[in-house]
């Protein structure tokens, strides 16, 4: 089977959505929107949930390509990408390794350490170190941000202004048996920016203005909770800087398809926070908004992503 999707409209396209992660509901919304967009462009679409029956469903439906509208664990960490590689089904987005690295904030920063991407100051705290000596946090500079390395949609992120906040956040983070280390980053002050990238091409910068202290899950996916301005009202120099850093991160991590990088615009310029290999595709999502500012409609964006579907290991 060829490594790239044929692009023939009679072929069956599976939109993969749902799954078992904490972002299931968001993924279902993204998947439904993608499915409708593809159908409006004349594609033959089948909607499939990510569960133990997925391999059989992909084979039964004679799927020729998969549009991955999954978020979080199993969907953007390389797991489903590996399955599709085994089944020889071309798929949208990044490959196994790029997804695995970009899903983990610690691995992402390690991979970008020698690049031109501007990174926040950070340190890693292991569960074993904290449980052995909880008082070690007394030496940390505050305020500080605690991050679950694989949390998505701003899940598993805590802003800590004092040691009590920090203790509570660490106990909550380490309550999950799968979290053995957390990323501690300096609390950056400035405008929140995001840059969508399609196959190495950065879109106009979007400024995010949440009406709460933090752009959390509720603010991100509830209409009216956040204002978005595109193109962002920042200097041309800052916008270009953010776009170039997003492109650099995309290329350094060997990403494909659509991705989205988040920044804080500080006194030293845009500082990179993370990059998402499977950004949201809902009515309030940022990547479609940025594409619209580049005169690319949502159905056109979804179709362009589909036409880039391929196997990455072949």
Strands 181-186 and 191-198: unpaired
CA dist 307 and 94 (Å) reads: 14
Residue 77 φ/ψ region, left for φ over 0, alpha for ψ in the -120 to 50 degree band, beta for the rest: alpha
CA-CA distances (angstroms) from residue 206 to 75, 192, 258, 288? 25, 8, 15, 11
Angle, helix 96-103 to helix 105-112, in steps of 10 degrees: 110
Residues 65 and 11: beta-carbon distance below 8 Å: yes
* Helices first, then strands: H and E counts in the chain: 11, 13
CA-CA distances (angstroms) from residue 73 to 80, 154, 163, 191, 285? 9, 14, 30, 29, 19
In 7-62, DSSP assigns E strands to: 12-17, 44-49
CB proximity list for 88: less than 8 A, separation 6 or greater? 1, 311, 314
CB proximity list for 138: less than 8 A, separation 6 or greater? 163
Active site amino acids? 23, 153, 221, 260, 262, 274, 276, 280
CB proximity list for 135: less than 8 A, separation 6 or greater? none
Neighbours of 257 (CB within 10 A): 25
């Amino acid at each position: 089977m060829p490594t790239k999707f044929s692009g023939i409209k009679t072929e069956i396209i599976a939109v993969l959505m749902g799954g078992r992660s904490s972002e299931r509901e968001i993924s279902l919304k993204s998947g439904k929107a993608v499915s409708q967009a593809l159908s409006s462009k004349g594609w033959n679409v089948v909607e499939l949930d990510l569960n133990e029956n997925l391999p059989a469903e992909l084979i039964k439906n004679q799927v020729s390509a998969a549009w991955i509208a999954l978020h979080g664990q199993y969907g953007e960490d390389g797991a489903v990408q590996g399955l599709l590689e085994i089944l020889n089904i071309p798929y949208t987005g990044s490959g196994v390794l790029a997804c695995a690295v970009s899903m983990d904030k610690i691995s992402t920063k390690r991979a970008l350490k020698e690049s031109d991407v501007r990174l926040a100051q950070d340190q890693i705290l292991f569960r074993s170190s904290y449980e052995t000596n909880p008082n070690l946090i007394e030496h940390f500079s505050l305020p500080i941000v605690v991050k679950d390395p694989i949390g998505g949609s701003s899940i598993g992120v805590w802003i800590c202004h004092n040691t009590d906040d920090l203790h509570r956040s660490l106990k909550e983070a380490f309550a999950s048996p799968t979290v053995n280390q957390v990323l501690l980053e300096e609390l950056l002050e400035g405008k929140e920016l995001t840059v969508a990238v399609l196959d190495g091409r950065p879109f106009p910068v979007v400024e995010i203005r949440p009406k709460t202290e933090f752009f959390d899950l509720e603010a991100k996916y509830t209409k009216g909770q956040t204002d978005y301005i595109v193109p962002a009202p920042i200097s041309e120099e800052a916008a270009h800087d953010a776009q170039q850093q997003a492109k650099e991160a995309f290329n350094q991590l060997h990403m494909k398809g659509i991705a989205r990088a988040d920044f804080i615009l500080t006194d030293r310029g845009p500082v990179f926070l993370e990059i998402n290999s499977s950004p949201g595709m809902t009515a309030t999502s940022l990547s479609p908004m940025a594409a619209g500012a580049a005169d690319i409609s949502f159905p056109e964006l979804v179709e362009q992503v589909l036409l880039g579907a391929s196997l990455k290991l072949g």
